[in-house]
Amino acid sequence: MAVAVALGATGAATAGTEGRYVQQRLIQVSPPPAGPWPQDGVFTIFLCGKDNVWKQCHKRAITSKQRRALEARLRAMPQVAEVSCESQNAAWANFREQNADNKALLSALQVDDMPESFRGRLHRRADIVPIRSTFEKMAGVSNVFTFGGSFWEGKADVEITLCGPAEASGTCDGRDGATPLDRERIEARLGTVEGVEKVYFEDSEHAAKVFGFFWMSKVSGPQGFPESYYVKLADPGDAQVLIDTVKVMPGVGHARTVADSR
Q: Between residues 140 and 3, which one has the greater pLDDT?
A: 140
What span, in angstroms and rounded, lies between the C-alpha atoms of 191 and 194?
8
Q: Are residues 56 and 100 in the same domain?
A: yes
As a dihedral over the C-alpha atoms of residue 206, residue 207, residue 213, residue 216, rounded to 10 degrees, the angle is: -140
Q: How confident is the model at residue 168 (pLDDT cuts 50, 70, 90)?
A: low
pLDDT (tens digit, 9 = 90+) per residue, 70-120?
A: 999 999 999 999 999 999 999 999 888 878 778 888 888 889 889 999 999
Last residue of a domain, one of 93, 126, 148: 148
Q: Are residues 193 and 135 in the same domain?
A: no
State the residue range of the domain holding 28.
Answer: 2-35+152-261
Report how far residue 20's alpha carbon sits from residue 22's, in angstroms, rounded to the nearest whole number: 7
What confidence category does residue 124 fall into, taking pLDDT thresholds of 50, 70 and 90?
very high
Specify the DSSP element, H or E, that contains 185. Answer: helix 180-190
Looking at the fold, whether 197 and 241 belong to one and the same domain comes out as: yes
pTM of the model: 0.76
Q: What is the pLDDT of residues 22-64, one digit of tens each?
A: 466 778 999 999 999 999 999 999 999 887 778 888 888 999 9
> Of the candidates 106, 128, 148, which is a domain's last residue?
148
Q: Are residues 133 and 203 in the same domain?
A: no
Kindly state whether residues 70 and 121 are assigned to the same domain: yes
> For 72, phi and psi rounded to 5 degrees?
-60, -40
How many domains is the chain partitioned into structurally? 2
136 and 162 inside one domain: no
Q: Within 10 A of 102 (CB to CB), how many other CB atoms are there?
A: 12
**Which residue in 51, 38, 3, 48 sits closest to 24, CA to CA?**
3
Question: Do residue 139 and residue 182 come from a single domain?
Answer: no
Q: Which of 230, 198, 195, 224 is nearest to 212 (CA)?
A: 224
Res 259: pLDDT: 85
- Domain final residue pick, 101, 132, 148: 148
Q: What's the CATH number where 61 sits?
A: 3.30.70.3040
Same domain, 74 and 157: no
Smallest CA-to-CA distance from 25 within 196, 240, 139 is with 196
Q: Read off the pLDDT of residues 11-23 as tens digits, 9 standing for 90 and up.
A: 444 344 333 444 6
Spell out the residues 6+ positions from residue 35 whose beta carbon is closer than 8 angstroms to its own. none
Q: Which of 155, 195, 161, 200 is nearest to 28 (CA)?
A: 200
Based on the fold, state whether residues 179 and 242 are members of the same structural domain. Answer: yes
